[in-house]
Chain A
Amino acid sequence: MSRTKSILALLALFFLAACSSSPSSGPSDAEQEDSADAGPQIFKRLSIEESGIDFRNDIVETKEYNYFAFQYTYNGAGVGVGDLDNDGLPDLYFSGNQVPDRIYRNEGHLKFKDISKTAGIDHQGGFNFGVTFVDINQDGWQDIYVCRSGHKGLTKEKANLLYINNHDLTFTESAQAYGLADQGYSIQSAFFDYDHDGDLDMYLTQHPVDYGQNLKERLDKMKAPEDDISDKMYRNNGDNTFTNVTDIAGVRNYGHGLGLVIWDINEDGWDDIYVGNDYQSADYVYINNQNGTFTDRMKEYFPHIPYYSMGVDVADIDNDGLLDMNVVEMLPENYHRMILNVSDLSEQNYYVFEEVGFHHQYTRNCMFRNNGGKTFSDVAYMAGVEATDWSWSSLFGDYDNDGKQDLFVSNGYLRDMQDKDYIKRSKYIRAAGGRMTKETFDTVTVSQKLRNYLYMNQGNLKFKNRAKSGGLEDVLFSSGAAHADLDNDGDLDLIVNNSNLQLSPDPAIVYENIVNSPKKSIRFDFEGPKGNRDGEGVRIIAQNGEEHFIQELRRTRGFISSMDKSLLIGIGERGRLEQVKVIWPDGAMQELGTIEGGKKIMCKYAEADKRFKKDEVISWAQVADLGIIFKHEDKVMTEFDIEAQLPFRMSMQGPQCAVADVDKNGEDDFFICGAKGQSDELYLQFNGKFTRVDGPWKPMSNEEHIVAEFADVDGDGDMDLYIGSGGTEDGKNNLLLLDKLFINEGKGFRYAENNLPRMLESTSVVTFGDMDGDGDLDAFVGSRSVPFAYGEAPHSFLLINEGGIFKSAAADLAPDILKLEMVSDAAWSDHDADGDLDLIIVGEWSSPVFMKNEGGKLSKGMNLPDLKGLWRTVVSADLNGDGRADFILGNVGSNIKFHASVKDPLLMYTGDMDGDKDRDIALAFKQGTYYHPDRSLTFLKAQFPSFDLKFPYYADFTGKSLEQIFGDALNTAKKHEVTELRSMILISTASGYDALPLPVQAQVSSINSILVKDLDGDGEEDFILAGNELYMPIQLGSLDAGAGLVLMNKGKGVLEPLSTRANGAFLPGWVKDMEFIQVQGVLYLIASRNDERPIFLKLNSSLSTIP
């Protein structure tokens, strides 16, 4: 070829260029500039002249090394830090992809000298990536392991390198002799003692080189991964040789490994492995089975993970004494770049991938908070760290020595290969023969340097990017990075490797930390046991009051880089660390007591005279099932195909559960709703054991039962049962939506078909109360949505009890109920302490509605217009002891893609948004400076086909206002607003209510259910909260970070979250409802979950001792 084809391709491109916008040069507005980025400078860039570092990872595109032939061409290179000559100053190693690696000796005062020529490290051939420092032969001198990959034509040339330190700043390459000259496509290695035999073994991440795979090809390849692409485990034989034990260890795999970090994920005292995998491969969570083998238990520990995982790091982000983890991905923060570059996985493909065994994967960063070693909750949205563009290194460090772990993220990709407009243009290249000249490639691709991120930890699970003011204002193509105290002044300096394609190349950069706070940190060095002299895996823990500190020595962190072998713990203004302990990987422990700031401590294994024992106080213990064998089984419908941009699934609303002594034998019984196609179940308790019994609800299994409530509606002294039908499965106005009342006849239940009005709505709540004071129970029945018409107002009902028969009475007694919008929950209580029952109603896209009871009539009372939420639940309790009802309201929380405030509410438009006569939903919220649609343009083009013509190129879309996008439809559609996403408490005051957000721990997910009880016997009502919202649209991502939370009431409205360690009320999954139940005098909690078995917890008697 085809010169003709090349010319054709060029002609096609010129044609395209002539009739459409050209490749974007990136953001032209100021959205990327964070106006809040202000504060003291932390880092100062050192020039080449100042530091002596002139290494450049220059990339030259060749036939073998270009994006199409080798997709790792632009992935960048690594950094290693360690004292190579034992002079007390950390030296630097830079890997080069195509250029030779370089070593720089630290000569003090941040001056470095290139010693590469004499060091003996000039082994060319492969495409070098990861660098790991390790004293592999335990001679007290740092050795260096370098991972190499390369194009498919290479074999021995890409064998990994092991540079053994000759003690004179020269090295002897010895990988073959040690059995570590792996010839696969290697990325990075980590050394750790996985088998507790006292020496350091090695885990190696590798990557496949197959691109453009369809699902079948991928699944086939995964069945038998070949040696050169599978990760490896090498066991240290103890004699300076290693044996490949990949298959024995159970880590043969087919993952595009990039990030690698070793840590004790499940807190069992044995090191586990986390591998962040690029492309579609799910990350690996290899849990150490303590017998030389590992099992990938990703789905057990992580409800979701990033799609394209890159760098990984671990640190305690909230000082709770548990290690958390951050995994970076590729989602751009800048709206323009996001629209052009975000990956657009379709909803269908997502579920296909899940069905064939992959995990829930979202295209964004994930910051995982540790739920006590049981599960991890992604809090990236609420932390504000979800989008850092095409990211590589994820590196935690306390860069301002304030005692809180900050986060550095490097980013940049030499060409934006996911740019939608490039992809569109590249189709013409394919059509013209699939050959592209270098000139054309330069023309059709965007190559934009980016600013790295410096997230300073603000506390309360919040981070603030201060890259610009913090001294990292450069725009670069950065990749590997490391930090270390290069000048021994008590703070972490930063070293970043940068790549270059063509003009204005950047060298690797040393950023000097200038916080100048030597008394605000404590340095720990280690003298480990034989076999692990540097103390890899050693852990420092400390506790100042309620505040915990924990750090582990792990060399391999971030992205293809390794850190120094000391730890620096920032303490800020605290002055000292208290209760300091050194815990070695084998459990040996040394107590160091209190250490003053500014000290340098040498920790010696030989002085560890105690054994570490985990100090656990658990208030709730999980029990198997109490004999209740029910598993809710809901179906995932493709309802988003019918209602594009539907924010939450309306088809998966159940199940609620209910507890009462229905057979009056003195023991609590249990009822739970079944999904459509599944019968409800009643369990009777007898002598502490539960037995399932049938009832008249059994033939009604074709209905989706959502709501269950026991109440004595006929006043005969036993508990009758109300079941509410809902969901969307049966469409609108379907008789299957009729609620059901079952009268307890003493010997069983009777379906009372005539005792309810015909309510053809999708019921979300029923709550009973004697509203009219006539001695029987009346009811409010609410509905959340109209099936397949989300945003329309369904009917809710006030039912007045007349001798056990309910009459709809809203029109006469509570006309405001007829005006309600989307109702999710309601509660009766005496709001105004006037002796009668008032009603509070909450719902979606609306404020709480207070219905005041005056003489048996309800009318809308107080208005709280600033509290328009996506409310899920409400309970009343007297929090401040004033005798009046206060309220806790469950919302979706702040750990969500949306932003909402009174000033800039979340918006939803429902109506015909594109003139095609169909009803649409369009969500929008303020992103950066402007309001933008919530979804990607690819998604919007599928929803609104006219957008294809309106915005032929993605760059044509990004600067458009909502008015320009939707035109007059914005005026004709129904507009809905949300101003508050957080779960709140409403504290009664003389003039109304003060609205206060619940603690940050309660904002990590939606709260669907709240139980109220004085758990510690102090006379104050405490609260247990649970929720989540799963199977959400993939462009929003599920709210799955909730794992249950106990809020202890300290009086006067102060609610304190019980620590993760002491909590024990572990309630993961999609909790819809909770009930207390007494079994043989012991208090249990049952949580019903959608599409899962319920959870059963037993209250530990030690709860009253928890502070």
Chain B
Amino acid sequence: MRYFLFLAPLFILSCSTPPSTDNVVAEPAPEEVIDVTQLTEELPDSGILKGVDPEQIMTDDWSDDGDIELEIEEQ
């Protein structure tokens, strides 16, 4: 069927292939360019619960008042 022709891309470029610099006008100097394989693993990701101990998280930020006892002299 006609639309299946699109299943076969005519040209696939690897992401890591450096693009042409023929018409570079962007300002960053070449030495400032960061390698693709760098950084991403060091950058913060989700994984919110990694390393989180639920016992160390108070559910309300002042809720540790419970360990104070009020001394009342009963009438």
Contact = CB atoms under 8 A, between A and B. Distances in A.
Q: Are these two chains actual partners, yes or no?
A: yes
Interface of A: 6, 61-63, 66-69, 71, 211-219, 279-280, 343-345, 348-349, 351-353, 355-356, 417-418, 423, 426, 429-430, 434-438, 441, 635-639, 641-642, 663, 665, 682, 684, 686, 691, 693-696, 698-700, 702-703, 729-736, 738, 745, 747-751, 753-754, 756-761, 795, 797, 805-808, 811
A696 B11 CA distance: 6
Contacts of A759: 26
Nearest to B65: A68
Contact of B36 (A68, A212, A344, A736): A736
Closest 5 CB pairs of A and B: A212-B66, A808-B25, A216-B54, A215-B54, A693-B6
30 contacts: A63-B72, A69-B69, A69-B70, A212-B64, A215-B59, A216-B55, A219-B54, A279-B59, A345-B61, A349-B57, A355-B49, A356-B49, A426-B65, A430-B68, A438-B72, A638-B45, A663-B5, A663-B6, A695-B9, A699-B12, A702-B15, A731-B34, A731-B39, A749-B9, A750-B11, A751-B13, A753-B19, A754-B23, A757-B25, A807-B23
Contact of B34 (A348, A438, A732, A749): A732
B71 A435 contact: yes
B61 A435 contact: no
A356 B52 CA distance: 12
Given A436-B71, A684-B3, A729-B40, A212 B54 contact: no
Contacts of B55: 214-217
B33 A642 contact: no
A961 B60 CA distance: 30
Given A430-B68, A748-B8, A758-B24, A641 B44 contact: yes
Nearest to B21: A758
A211 B63 contact: yes
A328 to B, nearest CB: 18
B19 A62 contact: no
A885 to B, nearest CB: 29
B20 A66 contact: no
User: B interface, how many residues as a size bin?
Assistant: 35 or more
Contact of B23 (A279, A418, A437, A757): A757
A695 B48 contact: no
A735 B45 contact: no
B48 A348 contact: yes
A696 B9 contact: yes
A290 to B, nearest CB: 34
A355 B49 CA distance: 8
B70 A212 contact: no
A635 B45 contact: yes
Contacts of B39: 730-731, 734
Contact of B44 (A435, A638, A695, A753): A638
A702 B14 CA distance: 11
Contacts of A695: 6, 9
Given A214-B55, A352-B57, A638-B44, A67 B36 contact: no
A748 B6 CA distance: 5
Contacts of A734: 33-34, 36, 39
B72 A62 contact: yes
A389 to B, nearest CB: 16
Interface string B25-56: 11110001111100110011110110010111
A67 B62 CA distance: 12
Contact of B61 (A344, A426, A436, A730): A344
A695 B12 CA distance: 8
B3 A693 contact: yes
Chain B interface mostly: loop
Nearest to B49: A355
Contacts of A735: 18-19, 33-36
Interface of B: 1-15, 17-28, 32-36, 39-40, 43-46, 48-49, 52, 54-74
A637 B8 CA distance: 35
A792 B13 CA distance: 32
Contact of A760 (B20, B28, B69): B28
A1067 to B, nearest CB: 26
B55 to A, nearest CB: 5
Given A215-B54, A751-B11, 15 more contacts: A213-B59, A213-B63, A214-B58, A219-B54, A343-B62, A352-B54, A435-B68, A438-B71, A441-B70, A731-B43, A734-B34, A735-B18, A735-B19, A748-B9, A807-B23
A695 B17 CA distance: 17
Contacts of A639: 44
Contact of B9 (A352, A698, A756, A808): A698
B61 A637 contact: no
Contacts of B54: 214-216, 219, 352, 356
A67 B68 CA distance: 10
Contacts of A426: 65, 68
A214 B56 contact: yes
Given A213-B63, A682-B6, A751-B11, A437 B57 contact: no
Given A732-B34, A753-B19, A761 B58 contact: no
A434 B2 contact: no
B25 A417 contact: no
B68 to A, nearest CB: 5
A418 B10 contact: no
B57 A699 contact: no
Chain A CB within 10 Å, residue with most, of B12, B15, B70: B70
A351 B48 contact: yes
Contacts of A436: 68-71
Contacts of A754: 19-20, 22-23
Nearest to A738: B19
A61 B72 contact: yes
B2 to A, nearest CB: 6
Nearest to A307: B60
A346 to B, nearest CB: 8
A140 to B, nearest CB: 45
Nearest to A759: B26
Contact of B27 (A215, A279, A417, A795): A795
B37 to A, nearest CB: 10
Contacts of A747: 5-6, 8, 10
Given A355-B49, A436-B71, A693-B7, A736 B57 contact: no
Contacts of A441: 70
Contacts of A352: 48-49, 52, 54, 57
Nearest to A5: B71
B13 A753 contact: yes
A734 B73 CA distance: 69
A691 B52 CA distance: 42
B48 A808 contact: no
A214 B59 contact: yes
B14 A699 contact: yes
A434 B68 contact: yes
Nearest to B18: A735
Chain A CB within 10 Å, residue with most, of B6, B32, B39, B67: B6
B46 A636 contact: yes
A405 B20 CA distance: 65
Given A642-B44, A749-B9, A61 B70 contact: yes
A699 B58 contact: no
Contacts of B65: 67-68, 71, 211-212, 417, 426
A215 B55 CA distance: 6
Nearest to B59: A280
B48 to A, nearest CB: 5
A1094 B8 CA distance: 26
A730 B45 CA distance: 11
B25 to A, nearest CB: 4
B10 to A, nearest CB: 5
A745 B60 contact: no
Contact of B62 (A61, A351, A418, A691): A418
Given A214-B57, A215-B55, A684-B3, A68 B69 contact: yes
Contacts of B12: 696, 698-699, 751
Contact of A6 (B6, B68, B71): B71
